[in-house]
Structure 1
Amino acid sequence: MSNYILVEVNVVNRQKQQYVTIKGTKEGLTLHLDDTCSFQELLAEIDAKLTSNKDPEETPLIGVRLKVGNRFLTKKQEEKLRDVIRSKKNFLVENIESNVVTKEQAFQWNKQTEIVPVAKMIRSGQVLEVEGDLLLIGDINPGGTVKAGGNIFVLGALRGNAYAGLQGKQDAVIAASLMKPTLLSINETINRAPDITEQLESSHEMECAYIDEEEQIVIDRLQVLSHLRPMLTRLERRM
């Protein structure tokens, strides 16, 4: 009698890795995209998933937010993603978030967040403007103007004009050793001399100006900033 050896072959059916995770929110859909697969694999899965999830009936336009993690997308790739999603008729890409930035973007971000120190007096008719935060060691005379994309800190007398938050920062502040300004502006809110004078009392302490809950510029003691704007203490946050 012949001897037979039975060989059992186990076929492992591995589940295909998911490259796209879809989460619904009140604002629309958020797509979390894998940042390790190829771009073509990503496009194919987005196309398949949005097709399978598509409502055959007419539906309102749905906003889509893409989170691409550590994947760097070129302008062409971003446009390709938008085209694939837009082809589903009722989907529209509202935002693409990436953890990766270009050198140019990083340089611009650094310029907008750095503190620029300047030691000089700003005389009448002079204008000093920086993209980030301004630390001025000196006085601002009546008729002099300083402008900053972020905060303004004056180690001296502020008797002229100060424009803070020009990068759209509603939480920007203006601080000075002597606060006697002609005009204060934070983002798009402005206080002129008559309004400011009513808030000021004779004080030998440093003071600050900020926008309160009623969207008005108010002047207070410098000490309140640690509670109102805790994000100012950058060094302490790193420790």
Structure 2
Amino acid sequence: MVQKKQYVTIKGTKDGLIFLLDDSCSYENLLEELIEKLSSKHYQQSEGPDVRVKVDIGYRFLQEHQLTELENIITNGRNLAVDQFESRVLSKEESEKLRQESQTVTLMRIVRSGQVLHVKGDVLLIGDVNPGGTLIANGNIYVMGALRGIAHAGFGGNEKAVISASLLAPAQLRIADEIKQFEAEEKREQMMASAFLTEQKSFQIGRVQQLVHTHPQLAKNEAQLQV
């Protein structure tokens, strides 16, 4: 006798219940089994606080009315409350945001005093950041020129971001929420230098070659390298 595949798995945790919904079956079969499992007396209305439920729908895309339908089936007549639906499907907006944050934008210009440039991903600036100029990136900042103004990498909270410059003599560096101000006596020019945050959230500044050991994840698309 062939055992019927289960489309709905219910697991208990210290925080409540997790509903694991198979993403390979039809939506109708999923609803049928969910209703059948929840018909058990174990899930009928009882006294006491609601049990918190997280619903994992896997790689299935559900429209808003289907999510509402699932929530109603789970909660109606039962002391169950859906906290969240967890999906591995990205929306167009989420996908576009990830694309922008993973790309490297190349600029050829001078960031002059009073100018503020903001890039959502990594930025490669072929030019200078003059005193009074500001370059901001959600990702990493690479300056093929002199960085004498302000550079803010990891805008939005990325503490793994780095700042590199052919000539590093900034007025201020920022990575995520951490700030390092450079006083006049600290403004010595460093060639081919980089800056990043240590685990203690202090700035580490040294030669750019250190990134090979501290940030190997910066290497992208090495599989395309032909040797």
TM class, shorter-chain normalised? 0.7 to 0.9
The secondary structure found in structure 1 opposite 2:221 is: helix
What's the offset of the Cα at 1:131? 0.9
Greater shift, 110-119 or 85-94, is seen at 85-94
Residue number among 165, 169, 180 corresponding to 2:154 in the alignment: 165
1:111 to 77, 83, 100: 100
> 1:192 is matched with which residue?
181
Structure 1 position 92 matched with structure 2 position 82: yes
Return the alpha-carbon distance in structure 2 between the equivalents of residues 46 and 211 of structure 1. Answer: 49
State the distance in 1 between where 2:38 and 2:11 align: 12
Counterpart AA for 1:130: V
Structure 1 pair 78–131 and aligned structure 2 pair: CA distance change class (3 A): farther
Q: Confirm or deny: 8 A CA contact 1:82 1:93 kept in the other structure.
A: no
What stretches of structure 1 of length at least 5 have no aligned partner? 1-11
Task: Quickly say closer, same or farther: Cα 1:187–1:17, change in 2 above 3 A.
Answer: same
Aligned equivalent of 1:36: 24
Superposed counterparts of 1:165-184, under 5 Å: 165-184=154-173
Letter of the 1:15 partner, please give it: Q
* 1:143, distance to aligned residue in structure 2 (A): 0.3
Shift of 1:50: 5.6
Number of aligned residue pairs = 222
SS in structure 2 opposite 1:76?
A: helix
Cα 1:237/1:30, change in 2 over 3 Å: farther
Distance 1:181 1:103, change over 3 A: same
Matched, 1:219 2:219: no
Pair 117,196 (structure 1): closer, same or farther in 2 beyond 3 Å: farther
C-alpha distance in 1, partners of 2:57/2:170?
Answer: 45
What is the CA deviation profile of residues 61-112 of structure 1, one whole-angstrom value per residue up to 9, with x for unaligned ones? 545251412x2222333344344445543443345122x3344432232112
Equivalent residue letter for 1:228: T
SS in structure 1 opposite 2:100? helix
* Distance in 1 (alpha carbons) for counterparts of 2:33 and 2:213: 47
In 1, Cα distance between equivalents of 2:85 and 2:118:
31
Aligned pairs for 1:200-215 (under 5 A) are 203-204=190-191, 206-215=192-201
User: Is contact 2:49-2:79 (8 Å) kept?
Assistant: no
CA contact (8 A) 1:85 1:93 kept: no
Instruction: Look up the equivalent residue of 1:78 and give its one-letter code.
Output: L
Q: Does 2:126 match 1:140?
A: no
> TM-score, normalising length from structure 1?
0.77
Q: Which residue identity does 1:32 align to in structure 2? A: L
Rounded Cα–Cα distance in structure 1 between residues aligned with 2:123 and 2:142: 6
Give the CA deviation at 1:30: 4.2
Q: Structure 2: 5+ residue runs without aligned partners?
A: none
Question: Is residue 52 of structure 2 the alignment partner of residue 66 of structure 1?
Answer: no
Tell me how far 1:227 sits from its aligned partner: 2.6
Task: Compute the displacement of 1:120 (Å).
Answer: 0.5
For the aligned residue pairs, the C-alpha RMSD in angstroms reads 3.0
Report if aligned partners of 2:168, 2:190 keep a CA contact under 8 Å in 1: no
User: Residue type of the partner of 1:213?
Assistant: E
Question: Hey, what's the Cα distance between the residues in 2 that align with 1:43 and 1:196?
Answer: 70
Q: In 1, Cα distance between the equivalents of 2:15 and 2:115?
A: 47
Q: Look at both structures and tell me which one has the larger radius of gyration over its CA atoms.
A: 1
How far apart, in 2, do the equivalents of 1:185 and 1:32 lie? 42
Separation in 2, partners of 1:232, 1:26: 38
